[in-house]
Copies of this chain bind each other. A is one copy, B any other.
């Protein structure tokens, strides 16, 4: 999965951002990252931690400093970041911030095959989505407000972004739902017919077949 990154997993970014402050052993990285809520910003699976650390070492981005044994615990290997690692970290962050990447929302996949359901069911499902979204937004807003009282905004910027995206999604769903329920969405009757008749409309499919070429990106 590397792409241009030698270790592609975002957990590697998190690890680098931890060891850049001081040398640590893997379990400590996990604690630090958890404490800072990084597992909420990235999709971190702790099962991958040791694999990722090993790969980072293999590529010279971090290096083992020493192995200490405290009490009877298993031996812990302490890693520190290398110059190459520091460079990778900075370069990676630059890229993540400066370069928009196509995100594939699971919702989008759902929308793109929604015609397998009846329109009325879709409306109901969208309604459910909207109300769940609203709940989440309320909770997120509240928790953000709570944190803001003791934390600089700059450290909460990701949470603000996340909130903004959810609000945008909710707004979009709301407007789609309006169009569907008010009946102002074109071809809605056609769609409904398919589901009473049974199957997919040759005419529309043909249209689809025809034009699909030369899209952006």
Contacts and interface: CB of A to CB of B under 8 A. Distances in A.
Interface of A: 10, 13-14, 17, 20-21, 35-38, 40-43, 89-90, 93-101, 103-117, 121-122, 125-126, 128-129, 132-133, 136, 139-140, 142-143, 146-147, 150-155, 157-158, 161-162, 164-169, 172, 176, 185-188, 190-191, 199-200, 204, 207-212, 214-217
Contacts of A109: 10, 13-14, 41-42, 96, 158
B126 A165 contact: no
A116 B96 contact: no
Contacts of A125: 94, 97-98
B207 A151 contact: yes
A154 B110 contact: no
A133 B207 contact: no
A159 to B, nearest CB: 9
A97 B116 contact: no
Contacts of A21: 199-200
Contact of A98 (B129, B153, B216): B129
A113 B17 contact: yes
A142 to B, nearest CB: 8
B154 A17 contact: no
Nearest to A115: B154
B139 A110 contact: no
A94 B107 contact: no
A161 B172 contact: yes
Contact of A211 (B111, B114, B150, B208): B150
Given A97-B125, A108-B161, A152-B186, 8 more contacts: A38-B112, A41-B104, A94-B117, A98-B126, A98-B129, A100-B136, A151-B207, A157-B176
B153 A116 contact: no
A201 to B, nearest CB: 10
A118 to B, nearest CB: 10
